[in-house]
Chains A and B, each alone.
Chain A
Amino acid sequence: DADVTQTPRNRITKTGKRIMLECSQTKGHDRMYWYRQDPGLGLQLIYYSFDVKDINKGEISDGYSVSRQAQAKFSLSLESAIPNQTALYFCATSDRSGYTFGSGTRLTVV
């Protein structure tokens, strides 16, 4: 099993719909992150969590919310999806050695 698992892998949704992306990790790390990547660009931080009771906004949190259900689970929600949220979304976890990323969720909002 992958260290960081994201579901779904691909999703097409309509404008205005609420959608949840899920992430779970088996690394046992406290820190988890959600990033967004637009074509040809680097990653932008949406939200991050340093433990179950700690949630922080990143650079581009508007239009998104998160829930840290357990140490191993961190979900990202788009409350009302819009087309410019079409992107590749990555979940990650980290310790002092570096980050481990999931394989990503490709989200298309039509």
Chain B
Amino acid sequence: SQQGEEDPQALSIQEGENATMNCSYKTSINNLQWYRQNSGRGLVHLILIRSNEREKHSGRLRVTLDTSKKSSSLLITASRAADTASYFCATDWETSGSRLTFGEGTQLTVNP
């Protein structure tokens, strides 16, 4: 299975701290994407990083990709209570493109 695996499964931090979530996958990819899901709601696209990129930023989000280790990390800096959500990595790996495989997610809780 190409399914990504997130680590940790759950993370609890205080407001203002940084949160780091990791994702590992098994085969070569076209790109890797991170999504956020608030409880029971739809997923929101955060960042897409292509296989030839190593780092990408968007606001307080920083994503890294290490294709040699088949891993990615999502860093949220200066976390806020509103960042509380589940975060999923998803890999786009088929040669025909655009068929995502999701991991099981990291549940982030940011305490006020």
Q: Which residues of A contact B (CB under 8 A)?
A: 4, 31, 35, 40-45, 48, 50, 58, 88, 90, 92, 94, 97-104, 106
Alpha-carbon distance A35/B42, docked complex (angstroms): 11
Contacts of B59 in A (CB 8 A): none
User: Does A42 contact B88, Cβ atoms closer than 8 Å?
Assistant: yes
Alpha-carbon distance A13/B89, docked complex (angstroms): 32
Closest 9 pairs (CB-CB, A-B): A42-B102, A98-B45, A101-B42, A43-B102, A42-B104, A103-B42, A101-B43, A98-B48, A42-B103
B82 within 8 A of A: no
Contacts of A101 in B (CB 8 A): 35, 42-44
Query: What's the least CB distance linking A22 to chain B, in Å?
Result: 15
Q: Which residues of B contact A (CB under 8 A)?
A: 3, 33, 35, 40-45, 48, 88, 90, 98-105
User: Does A99 contact B40, Cβ atoms closer than 8 Å?
Assistant: no
Alpha-carbon distance A45/B1, docked complex (angstroms): 13
Alpha-carbon distance A105/B33, docked complex (angstroms): 23
User: Does A99 contact B88, Cβ atoms closer than 8 Å?
Assistant: no
Alpha-carbon distance A56/B1, docked complex (angstroms): 18
Say which residue of A94, A103, A106 sits within 8 Å of B98 (CB atoms). A94
Contacts of B90 in A (CB 8 A): 43, 99
User: Does A104 contact B42, Cβ atoms closer than 8 Å?
Assistant: yes
